Amino acid sequence: MELRTAITLIKKGLTRTNEPQVWADLGAGTGLFTTALSTLLPDGSTIYAIDKDRKAINNVSIPSQKILLNKIAMDFLIHPLETELLDGMLMANSLHFVSDKLSFLQKVKRNLKPSAKIVFIEYDTEKSNAWVPYPITYQSLEDLARILGAVSVEKIGSTPSKYNEATIYSALFSFN
């Protein structure tokens, strides 16, 4: 995926403000969506890029020197997040690695400010494979949002996948 596509998928999920924000990118990998996020946040913001692949996370970089990037090598499925309260959380192609999505999201919601947002990028399919072991359709994500107490859930973007016949969608949970 190209950077401009990643930016387009997430930009409607961010609040436009000049106030610095704190976000976490869970499953940051090599940093494509971390970089996209950094281009949309105001100066003085902080991003926690979190991934269990130490080599990948060590290579993450962002173009802005005015955004603080904290790289954390850990498995967020096993270990609790140790961040300050977050304005937002980005899960780009990472929720499909979580088997018990409800329990996981209830756990990480504790790291969110009451007005926080979660932006998801996922494949809109029910078919699992080696790269998407626990897929989640947009409809299923909507159901999760209601259970978690999100005040709104919205599909904010989509793009064709070159690896799968399913469309890639982006969605936003808002909590206040």
pLDDT digits (tens, 9 = 90+) for 11-37: 999 988 899 999 999 999 999 999 999
The tens digit of pLDDT for each residue in 131-153 reads: 889 999 999 999 999 998 889 99
Kindly report whether the global pTM for this prediction surpasses the value 0.85. yes
Q: Domain range spanning residue 93?
A: 3-174
At CA 136, angle to CA 135 and CA 142, rounded to 5? 175
- The runs of H, that is alpha helices, within the chain are 3-10, 32-40, 54-58, 101-109, 138-148
The CATH number of the domain holding residue 24 is 3.40.50.150
User: Structurally, how many domains does the chain consist of?
Assistant: 1
